[in-house]
Amino acid sequence: MRCQPPLASRLRPALGVRRWLKWIILGGTLFFILKTFKDRWEEVTAVRIQGEGWTLLIVAGVITLIAHVWSGWVWTWILKSCKQPITTQQGLKLYLRTNIAKYLPGNIWHYYGRIKGVQNAGGSLAIATLTVLLEPLLMAAAALIIALIGLRTWGLEILGLILILLIIHPNFLNPVLQTLSRQKGNTTTEKLSTYPLIPLLGEIGFVVLRGSGFLSCFWALTPINLSDIPQILAAFSFAWLLGLIVPGAPGGLGVFEATAIALLDDFSGVVVLTIALYRVISILAEVLAAGLSILN
């Protein structure tokens, strides 16, 4: 009888393809961004930030900082709904302290840190894993909901939203959770008792806050018509969503920028500078939030 090769040997080709795919995605997005900067360099350099613009950039930073704190608070709601023995303050500090790790290669270390943190607080490995999987699903659903409000046509986006809303249902998640528990030798019955509607609403608030920070950054460079706000928020939400789910983009770097530039092409060089400034503001806000969580 022919023996099967070890699992690692069988997975090695797939892992190699995934590694190359990550580099292809990263290289393609960076090439697009650099080409856009080159083609619109004169438009970008023509933009001037006036006195009120600097105030709006500060406002963008404050709103983005609040968004990150709010996101951590929503994650503690998920932990509480899963009956994990960790306080709101502990969960919030753990979330903010690990958030900056998403920029490390692999884009998984913030999740790993949260799982270990919940375990160290006496929580279940299976439930901790579920919470870090559930959070990005809720974020994706929230971003799609906001994007659909501003989009003129609905297609694959609405199908994707329906799929995510079905996946986060307890009838789907509980069998997965029970399987994880059995694999870890846990004989207790761990399950979700309710649909995570409140955390979903919380994540909608998170994406709205992030979008508001982006709008403030945009407004710092050019006046915005009220009629443009739904389009800008929808484009931001969809670009942020792709940055969240596309592999090989730690923190969405490159993917978010390329998508936002493509969707907001009508705003010429202003959008290029807005996206660059917002990325800097977002990273600074995450670093500040992580620093505050360590000091407190």
Give 184's DSSP letter: T
**φ/ψ bin of 122: left (φ > 0), alpha (ψ from -120 to 50), beta (otherwise):** left
Residue type for position 248: G
When pLDDT is averaged across residues 182-196 and rounded to a whole number, the result is 69
Structure confidence by residue, pLDDT tens digits, 200-229: 999 999 999 999 999 999 998 888 889 889
Percent of the residues in the chain that have a pLDDT greater than 90, as a whole number:
37
- Does pLDDT of 26 surpass 70? no
Residue 137 has pLDDT above 90, yes or no: yes
- The predicted structure's pLDDT at residue 31: 55
Residue 82 has pLDDT above 50, yes or no: yes
Q: How far is C-alpha 59 from the geometric centre of its chain's CA atoms?
A: 21
Higher pLDDT, 51 or 289: 289
C-alpha span between 77 and 218 (Å, rounded) = 32
Q: Say yes or no to pLDDT of 253 above 70.
A: yes
Return the pLDDT at 1. 42
Over residues 148-157, the pLDDT tens digits come to: 887 766 677 8
Q: CA 90 from chain center: how many Å? A: 21
Which helix H or strand E contains 57, and what residues bound it? helix 51-81
At 189 the pLDDT is 58
Hey, is 105 helix, strand or coil?
coil
Domain ranges of the chain: 51-295
Greatest distance between any 2 Cα atoms in the chain: 78
Euclidean distance between CA atoms 257 and 271, whole angstroms:
10
Average pLDDT over residues 76-96: 91
Helical pair 109-120 and 125-150, crossing angle rounded to 10 deg: 140
